[in-house]
Amino acid sequence: MSDLIVIAFDDQSAGFELRAELGRLQKDYLLEMEDIVVVTRDDNGAVKLHQSVNLTAVGAAGGGMWGALIGLLFLNPLLGAALGAGAGALSGALTDAGINDNFMKEVGQTLKPGGSAVFFLSRKITADKVLERLGAFRARGRVLQSSLSTTDEAAWKALFERAQAASSEAPVDPITQSM
């Protein structure tokens, strides 16, 4: 079963930095991701999805290859490649693999202008080692949503979020406390 984790930041660069670090962790076999997307909200409030794989381009390339091969059979490989690329691009654009785009856009509307969120779907994760390697992101963001266990989610929140208890308590007056 896959786990979804959504981490929001007040700036856009932190989202892209986290995506790059998670990619390095995957190369080190510490996690296995199905999908990762950075969602940004610009200063005008427009939400943009930055997918890790452009399915339209992949579809066009694959369709173009198959179209050229089929076109060879009918002695017109250029027409076959063009038709295949068009069909492949259309197929790729209509495909929604991984995390639901509408869900990401809805969450993106809740971000502060200029903010970002990283959505990642993980099949397997070595949580203790991953959290240790993500230390550079300590207290820089907040966990918006996850499908992790309560214990694991608390560990992610402890890393990304600032301590809430210290800010929610009333300030202590040192003069009255010493009396």
What was the pLDDT predicted at 171? 47
Taking alpha carbons only, the member of 112, 148, 158 closest to residue 14 is 112
How would you classify residue 80: left for phi > 0, otherwise alpha for psi between -120 and 50, otherwise beta? Answer: alpha
What was the pLDDT predicted at 50? 85
What was the pLDDT predicted at 75? 62
In the DSSP assignment, the letter for residue 141 is E
Hey, how many other C-beta atoms are within 10 angstroms of the C-beta on 32? 13
What was the pLDDT predicted at 100? 85
Q: In Å, how far are 99, 118, 153 from 3, measured between CA atoms?
A: 11, 13, 11
* Amino acid present at 41: R
What was the pLDDT predicted at 91? 54
20: burial class by Cβ within 10 Å (0-12, 13-18, 19+)? exposed
What was the pLDDT predicted at 106? 92
d(CA 154, CA 134): 15
Q: What is the mean pLDDT of each run of 10 residues along the chain (179 residues)?
A: 89 92 92 90 90 54 58 62 58 59 90 93 89 90 89 90 53 44
What was the pLDDT predicted at 14? 93
